[in-house]
Structure 1
């Protein structure tokens, strides 16, 4: 389903390696799940989970997708945004805005910016 069809105006892609031997081609819609658990090789998986849940609850107008950077469908974006393995990379409305796991205050600042 397209972004416009869901009524979203903002799009946030979080490139984050998934703890699996398979690479999913399906984006994860955080509004359809109750929990998000990050793999243990991240700097702080609990913090990543907290930030993603916060966005889901406080910013329903933001479409959030988590994408494994090894997904071949996103190769161009991975190269464009210089995504590094083992660290979350945040792309908001087509622009790389953060690497690692932001604090709630940092994510608020990112999401309050236009474009």
Structure 2
């Protein structure tokens, strides 16, 4: 992994969740810019997801995080490939599903260390 950091490449993490809106756009939004981490109330524990995402953005700038609404039709093949279920948050790190649901901060740190 040190070689990756030396070359400036970032690890990639996709987070699939249902966001709180009634339309689903085809553009991914950088939530750090708009400071809005709200998710659909019927999704996995939206409050904890917000806490985990904020921690991730603040403590791990070396990781490229792409948060995707799981209803975004441009990512339909990802839903099939990783067996992502509606209302369940899925974490895909470097092309592998590493968690389903909302990890605690400790679980997130363990996932990042392992991958």
Q: TM-score range by the shorter chain?
A: 0.7 to 0.9
The answer for the alignment partner of 1:104 in structure 2 is 105
The answer for the alignment partner of 1:42 in structure 2 is 43
The answer for the alignment partner of 1:83 in structure 2 is 84
Provide TM-score, normalisation by structure 2.
0.85
The answer for the alignment partner of 1:13 in structure 2 is 14
Q: Distance in 2 between matches of 1:38 and 1:57?
A: 19
Structure 2 unaligned segments of length 5 or more: list them.
Answer: 1-7
TM-superposition CA deviations, 1:60-94 (whole Å, max 9, x none): 01111111122111111110000000110110111
Q: What is the RMSD computed on CA atoms of the aligned residues?
A: 1.5
How far is the alpha carbon of 1:8 from its aligned partner? 5.0
Q: Distance in 1 between matches of 2:22 and 2:31?
A: 22
The answer for the alignment partner of 1:32 in structure 2 is 33
Paired residues of 2:15 and 2:68 also in contact (CA < 8 A): yes
- For the residue of structure 2 that corresponds to 1:42, the secondary structure is coil
The answer for the alignment partner of 2:65 in structure 1 is 64
Range that drifts further, 20-29 or 46-55: 20-29
Paired residues of 1:30 and 1:65 also in contact (CA < 8 A): no
Question: Which has the greater radius of gyration?
Answer: 2
How far is the alpha carbon of 1:31 from its aligned partner? 3.3
Q: Distance in 1 between matches of 2:86 and 2:48?
A: 18
Does 1:52 pair with 2:47? no
Q: Distance in 1 between matches of 2:33 and 2:9?
A: 15
Does 1:23 pair with 2:24? yes
Instruction: List 4+ stretches of structure 1 deviating above 3 A.
Output: none
How many positions carry a matched residue from both structures? 108
